[in-house]
Structure 1
Amino acid sequence: MQPKRLLWGLGLLGMGLFIGILFLLVQANAPESTPDENTSTEKQPLNWKVEDFTYTDQNGEPFTRSDLEGKVWIADLIFTNCNTVCPPMTANMARLQKKMKEAGVEAEIVSFSIDPERDTPKALKRFGEKHGADFSNWHFLTGYSFEEIQQFADASFHMNLQHNPDNDQVIHGTGFYLVSPKGRVLYQYNGMKPDLEEIIRDIQDLHETKGE
């Protein structure tokens, strides 16, 4: 019995070695993989058109899309009574504003209120001051109905706004949106954890290409 077991073991070992060598030969002769020529890691612009608007800023003054014509701008949608995502979003936007100034990068910032019944110009100004906003290029807007901003958010930023049936909050997205001088949304970023350097690079690229 022992010789038979020995022969059986040697046979299995030999078969294993043969399969291993065959696998290595196949791998060595396999063609190198090449990237798909049609695949690009380059970020593609969203190219959403921002609808025309005439709203009211934190100073009680009219503010329209025409005021942003020819300018690069960043948008978000917030409300002052928000008890979840809006405070950190606004804090992040303030950080972005500071970094843009340090880098010498020019862009307007527009925060649309999605609770216009509560968010008067004074309430928005207090909210902005609380978060250290520089109002020279940061505009907090109100002066419309909830239905109007709901339609505007959907058409311009593809964002769905809904009243929370269980409380006084508004359910909304947390995006930051980069808008070209031609009024087109190009890129969306996570407003809760934005890559500030990426946003600044994208703004710089827009300036270099003159918004094309």
Structure 2
Amino acid sequence: MRTLFLLLFMTLLVSCEKSQPPIPFNAIDVSWRYAEKPVDFQLTDPNGKIRRLSDFKDKVVVMFFGYTHCPDICPTTLADLAQVMRLLDKDAEKVQVLFVTLDPERDTPKLLAEYVPFFHPSFLGLYGDTQATAQVAKTFGVNYEKRVEKNSYALDHSDGTYLIGTKGKFVLLSPYNQNVNLLVQDIRLLLEMAH
């Protein structure tokens, strides 16, 4: 009986300890996927410069996978992200939006240089060869598949936008068509946590 009472008392003590409240992100925290190895990649920008995630370590990175021939999800997401940048106002300088193409066959550097900044001048398109594209997609759990249609093809791909905190801390996954105000809240929270 005494052992049972002691066990109950210790359980109550442990449960009374102050626990840290969860961080109130709107997006899903998927940081656990990268707990053992920090997330990074090596892709090329439209000017031929090799870019890594670590190049943007002092910014919050907003990263989206898609392709320029996408009829709906990709342009909608890029338009939403442009609105996010406007709402962030001066904080937008601390954010880098990266559009990673899943279609390096058609998305040439010239096309990426025209298409991506059309939505916002600070947006940067990135590409790699077939192997590099597959590797970065795998790193972020992005699935994509070519679907042949008559004389062309489309890409079926998973959607969602990654929000990556400064120095790669915190990796969040925001669902497609997330309310822009919720995206802004998450980005502001990541910026606050950087200080």
Deviation at 1:170, TM superposition (A): 1.1
Match of 2:137 in 1: 153
Match of 2:64 in 1: 76
Match of 1:177 among 153, 162, 170: 162
Deviation at 1:179, TM superposition (A): 0.6
C-alpha RMSD of the superposition: 2.7
Q: Which has the larger radius of gyration?
A: 1
Deviation at 1:185, TM superposition (A): 5.2
| TM-score scaled by length of structure 2 | 0.73
Match of 2:128 among 143, 161, 171: 143
Match of 2:114 in 1: 126
Distance in 1 (CA, whole Å) between partners of 2:145 and 2:156 is: 5
Gap regions ≥5 residues in structure 2: 1-21
Secondary structure of 1:117's match?
coil
Amino acid paired to 1:197: N
Amino acid paired to 2:193: T
Match of 1:199 in 2: 183
Confirm or deny that 1:96 pairs with 2:66. Answer: no
Distance in 2 (CA, whole Å) between partners of 1:62 and 1:101 is: 29
Confirm or deny that 1:58 pairs with 2:41. Answer: no
Distance in 2 (CA, whole Å) between partners of 1:93 and 1:42 is: 21
Overall identity of the aligned pairs, in %: 25
Distance in 2 (CA, whole Å) between partners of 1:149 and 1:160 is: 11
Secondary structure of 2:162's match?
strand
Secondary structure of 1:59's match?
coil
Change (3 A) 1:113 1:102: same
Match of 2:95 in 1: 107
Change (3 A) 1:41 1:98: closer
Match of 1:190 in 2: 175
Gap regions ≥5 residues in structure 1: 1-39
Change (3 A) 1:148 1:129: closer
| CA contact 1:150–1:160 (8 Å) conserved in 2 | no
Change (3 A) 1:102 1:195: farther
Higher RCO (CA 8 Å, separation ≥ 6 residues): 2
Distance in 1 (CA, whole Å) between partners of 2:186 and 2:50 is: 29
Deviation at 1:160, TM superposition (A): 1.0
Deviation at 1:102, TM superposition (A): 5.7
Q: Which structure: greater strand fraction?
A: 2
Change (3 A) 1:83 1:60: same
Give the paired residue count: 168
| CA contact 1:105–1:204 (8 Å) conserved in 2 | no
| TM-score scaled by length of structure 1 | 0.68
| CA contact 2:165–2:194 (8 Å) conserved in 1 | no
Distance in 2 (CA, whole Å) between partners of 1:195 and 1:97 is: 13
Amino acid paired to 1:68: F
Amino acid paired to 1:199: L
| CA contact 1:105–1:203 (8 Å) conserved in 2 | no
Distance in 1 (CA, whole Å) between partners of 2:165 and 2:67 is: 24
Deviation at 1:51, TM superposition (A): 3.9
Deviation at 1:120, TM superposition (A): 1.4
